[in-house]
């Protein structure tokens, strides 16, 4: 599915991106400041409708970051394991819809990658505090890995690491900035990845959505 990786012409500032594995597209500086603010406005509305919560691992340990969701389905985890659910675990309300600005961005990128028919039904909102991070993981709770995951970063820079198909594989460090978009698709869809750290105070935009938070990341997926 899709065309050859569009690297290395993605960087708005003319810098040379590192060689990326097949099935990884990194659009650095994809969003203007105005577009970033628009998505942060959307984040405020999502957090109002679906307050941040802290999922737990099977053994009861809470994850480091708080999160919430928008879309028909939302990712959740507790003692019963990782899964997608249709209602907020604390309020019982359905998740708010995926904001149209986010769907439009996703559509435009799918167009550029030559991927037709992608209709994300879930969007995880990861909220990082100054000490936020995300352990190395594969996104594998979705039914069909042929559908990509599209990630949008807002707020402070983050040290993102991209590994291989085994947890032990060497990782490539990438500094993700506000307005960057990363797509894992095709062979890249199940690569290990994580966020080693965020760099508080580096956000190019200030916005009420970032009050008490350093970074917000949206990941759009097709869960079912």
Q: Binding of ligand MD6 at residue 151 (CB under 6 A)? A: yes
Counting residues that bind Fe ion (by CB under 5 A) gives 1
CA distance 188 to 202: 28
Tokens in use for 189?
């869809």
Residues in Cβ contact with 137 at an 8 Å cutoff, skipping those fewer than 6 apart: 192, 193, 194
Nearer to Fe ion, 139 or 142 (CB): 139
Residue 98 interacting entry, from ligand MD6, Fe ion, none, C-beta within 5 to 8 Å by type: none
Residues 26-65 that bind ligand MD6 (CB under 6 A): none
Residues 125-184 that bind Fe ion (CB under 5 A): 139
Sole window of 9-17, 29-37, 45-53, 145-153 interacting with ligand MD6 (rule: CB under 6 A) = 145-153
Q: Residue 22: which of 208, 215, 185, 192 has the closest Cα?
A: 185
Q: What is the spatial order of strands in the sheet that 157-162 belongs to? A: 134-137, 193-199, 157-162, 172-176
Lookup result for tokens 């019982």:
92
Residues 160-199 that bind ligand MD6 (CB under 6 A): 160, 182, 184, 193, 195
The 10 Å CB-count burial string (b at 16+, else e) for 182-200 is: bbbbbebbbbbbebebbeb
Closest-approach residue to Fe ion (CB): 139
Q: How far is the CB of 137 from Fe ion (least distance, A)?
A: 6
Tokens in use for 163?
């590994």
Q: Binding of ligand MD6 at residue 219 (CB under 6 A)? A: yes
Nearer to ligand MD6, 65 or 95 (CB): 65
| Interacting residue ranges for ligand MD6, rule: CB under 6 A | 126, 134, 139, 149, 151, 153, 160, 182, 184, 193, 195, 217, 219
């Amino acid at each position: 599915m899709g065309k050859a990786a569009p690297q290395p012409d993605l960087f708005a500032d003319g810098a040379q991106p590192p060689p990326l594995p097949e099935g990884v597209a990194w659009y650095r500086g994809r969003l203007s400041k105005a577009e970033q603010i628009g998505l942060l406005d959307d984040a405020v509305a999502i957090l109002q409708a679906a307050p941040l919560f802290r999922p737990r691992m099977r053994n009861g340990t809470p994850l480091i970051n708080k999160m919430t969701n928008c879309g028909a389905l939302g990712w959740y985890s507790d003692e019963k394991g990782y899964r997608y659910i249709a209602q907020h675990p604390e309020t019982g309300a359905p998740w708010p819809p995926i904001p149209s600005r986010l769907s439009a961005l996703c559509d435009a990128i799918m167009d550029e990658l030559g991927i037709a028919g992608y209709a994300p039904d879930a969007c995880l909102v990861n909220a990082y505090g100054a000490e936020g991070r995300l352990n190395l993981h594969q996104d594998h709770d979705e039914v069909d890995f042929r559908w990509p995951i599209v990630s949008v970063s807002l707020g402070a820079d983050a040290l993102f690491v991209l590994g291989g198909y085994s947890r032990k594989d060497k990782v490539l460090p990438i500094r993700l900035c506000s307005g960057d978009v990363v797509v894992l698709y095709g062979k890249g869809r199940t690569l290990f990845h994580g966020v080693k750290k965020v760099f508080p105070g580096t956000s190019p935009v200030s916005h009420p959505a970032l009050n008490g938070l350093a970074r917000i990341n949206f990941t759009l997926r097709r869960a079912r």
